[in-house]
Structure 1
Amino acid sequence: MRLIEQGWYQNHPIKWLLLPFNILFYLLSTLRRILFNLGILKQPHLDIPVVIVGNIGVGGNGKTPVVVYLVEQLKQRGLKVGVISRGYGGVKRKSPLLLTDEVTAEEAGDEPVLIFKRCQVPVVVSGDRVASVNLLINQGCNIVISDDGLQHYRLKRDVELVIVDGKRRFGNGWLLPAGPLREGLWRLKTVDKVIINSGLADVNEQHMYLKGDKLINLHDGRIVSVDDFKDQHGKDSVVNAMAGIGNPERFFISLHELGFSLGQKIAFVDHHHFCETDFEQFGANTALLMTEKDAVKCAGIAPQNSWYLPVEAYFDENQGEQLIDLIITRCKNYGF
């Protein structure tokens, strides 16, 4: 864990050195929000509904599986869904990029490429989210899911969903950079749903968990159930694991819960740019397991015996259906 994250989640004294910068962050973010509330900064009109899937903290919280869930469920309702994302580093890309099979994770970011490959819907990456929505309108979409963007107040929104890591929650509860929060906890009272990824959900929060039951080979696309994979490799066999996500330990824990014994487990920083030398530390004869997010960047350079674990978002009882019903209800303003 990086030193700054130790300050956020483990009470390291580094947080006190960063505390003075919180005042500047608070003043700038508050001023910007006030300007939008007063109408001095404008929200451009958009002709289709927008659903924000965001968070108030930095780091991996499980937004992407929720985006995938919403896309698949809304498609089943007959809607033409599109997805927008800034993409990692995409703030530098002002001209919207419509993803195709040829666009790489290096060009668009790992999460947008994952969503495009998994859902097969139009996905646009740009720092200008309003322009991205307009491009999706031209593609025939009638509803847009925004992957992140809760604090992008220029983008009008019809539904706001906040995803929270149920294990780490809000860390020390401080704003950036002394804490992990982009906005104060007060913001949770203004959104439509707070969704807790694993962990315990409080009153007025909705519980969600991620589950994977199959492995896919990076090179030939073979799909094997987790149980069959363990049978083929021996129930007591050891596998290696790697993860370049916001909270790698969550992935390693999930593998333990699936019954895997981990030999080497290597955590990389979120959105790590992988190269061939990253894999030299893993034994060639031992299966290497990784996340789907990492797999979109590693197909050409990972060892042959590399597999990824796709996960799905699951909700307690009928809460998932209630979430979709909420979105559909808001869409009625657009003639749905």
Structure 2
Amino acid sequence: MALQQYIEAFWHSDGLVSRLMLPLSRLYAGVARQRRQRALEAPPPRWPVPVIVVGNITVGGTGKTPMVIWLVEWLRAQGLRAGVVSRGYGGRAGRHDPHRVMNTDDPGEVGDEPLLIATRTNVPVVVGRARAKAVRMLLSGDACDVVVSDDGLQHYALARDIEIAMLDGRRRLGNGRCLPAGPLREPEDRLQTVDWVVVSDGAAQAGEYAMMLKLGDARRIDPSSDETRALAAFRGQTVHALAGIGNPQRFFSALEGAGLNIIRHPLPDHHRIAPSDLDFGDTRPILMTEKDAVKCRTFASKRAWAVPVDAVPDPEFVDALSERLRSV
């Protein structure tokens, strides 16, 4: 984590290391612009159903997965059948690419985020390095009215009808530079071409929509138990908090905001959790994200609890999305 924290620090500053990398950053930005321009000049064929891409232009956690889960559940409430495609970051499903995710799959094979989405929403989820192939498998095997792509804003081989760019409200665009001098996957002006910019965990600026991230009741990870417990029940004691996500500090801050006294245990994003990662030498409760919980459900002790993070988008965004879908 020390290296990751160091990289994030210079990505959010105008320090010497970042300035030395500016030539590479400009080269990266130029290539990114060329890729997008080629896609605009020769767009891929459209799909028979609307495709919504939820992505970002920055490296790190921005709330994409909570947004995808919310979007799938919202579509269901509108009477629409959704399916999800994902790259499956952190997984090794290359031997069966694309692959339909099952609730019993190993997260090390299919990726932690696709498995979480599948278990939370009970909609078909297909992972694949080529998202177009994943969509083809999804539509050939399931009745879907809308396809949601988890990430893939820069995957221009996938035709899309709606683009939602997620942005972390605290870190925003860092120093505004492209990789490797900064955290941007594409130049900042890419945000002007998406349908909406949604800001998680922070104030939205002009032309953006806010999205709150709300912690739900903790659920015991032990598969033989369906026990849930309000976070308030953990107040008055010290608990371990574990997060292997793109922005673990956001999860820790949310727990502290709920009045909990925590011992922080940040892990790299997509870290494959081992039993030793949960061995803290005491009997204190362990709270972790749902994304981490799917990776240790076969060996987590009864002290381990998963804490869901639910998206609550701005009602004006919901209205805009509803209107846009009617026109697709």
Superposed displacement of residue 12, structure 1: 4.3
Provide the rounded CA distance (Å) in 2 between the counterparts of 1:277 and 1:18.
Answer: 37
Q: Which stretch has the larger CA shift, 89-98 or 17-26?
A: 89-98
1:159–1:330 contact (8 Å) kept in structure 2: no
Deviations 1:13-52 (A, max 9, x none): 321332222133123222222222222xx41332111001
Superposition TM-score, scaled by structure 2 size = 0.93
Q: Distance in 2 between matches of 1:152 and 1:10?
A: 28
* Structure 2 SS opposite 1:48: coil
Q: Which segments of 5 or more consecutive residues in structure 1 lack a partner in the other structure?
A: 332-336
SS in 2 for 1:124: strand
Contact kept in structure 2, 1:50 and 1:143, CA below 8 Å = yes
8 Å contact from structure 1 (residues 170, 180) kept in 2: yes
Name the CA distance, whole Å, in 2 between partners of 1:123 and 1:323.
26
Is the 8 Å Cα contact of residues 6 and 12 (structure 1) preserved in structure 2? no
Deviations 1:286-327 (A, max 9, x none): 0011111111101123332011110211123x2253144134
Q: How do 1:73-152 and structure 2 match up within 5 A?
A: 73-89=74-90, 93=94, 95-138=97-140, 139-152=142-155
* One-letter identity of the residue aligned with 2:131: R
Residues 323 and 309 (structure 1), Cα distance of their counterparts in 2 relative to 1, 3 Å cut:
farther
Q: Is 1:180 aligned to residue 179 of structure 2?
A: no
The answer for the alignment partner of 2:214 in structure 1 is 211
Matched, 1:163 2:162: no
Q: Which moved more, 1:28-37 or 1:102-111?
A: 28-37
Name the amino acid aligned to 2:307. L
SS in 2 for 1:24: helix
CA contact (8 A) 1:74 1:324 kept: no
* Structure 2: tracts of 5 or more residues without a match: none
Instruction: Name the aligned partner's letter for residue 30 of structure 2.
Output: L
Aligned residue in 2 for 1:197: 200
Q: Which amino acid aligns with 1:72?
A: E
Q: Is the 8 A contact 2:93 2:110 kept in 1?
A: no
User: How much does 1:77 deviate?
Assistant: 1.2
What's the Cα RMSD here?
1.7
> What amino acid maps onto 1:250 in structure 2?
R
Counterpart code for 1:126: G
1:266 aligned to 2:269?
Answer: no
Aligned to 2:295, what secondary structure does the other structure show?
helix
Q: Which amino acid aligns with 2:327?
A: R
1:54-97: CA deviation from partner (whole Å, max 9, x where unpaired): 10101000001110111001111111100000011569737210
Question: What pairs up with 1:241-280 in 2 under 5 angstroms?
Answer: 241-262=241-262, 264-280=263-279
Corresponding residue of 2:323 = 326
Residues 129 and 90 (structure 1 numbering): CA distance in 2 closer, same or farther, change over 3 Å?
A: farther
What SS class does the counterpart of residue 250 from structure 2 fall into? Answer: helix
* Shift of residue 194, structure 1, vs aligned partner: 0.6
Residue 209 of structure 1 contacts residue 314 of structure 1 at CA under 8 Å; is this kept in 2?
Answer: yes
For 1:246 and 1:24, the matched residues in 2 are separated by 25
TM-score (normalised: structure 1): 0.91
Q: Is 1:297 aligned with 2:295?
A: yes
What is the number of residues matched between the two proteins? 321
CA 1:293 to 1:323, structure 2 compared with 1: closer, same or farther past 3 Å?
farther
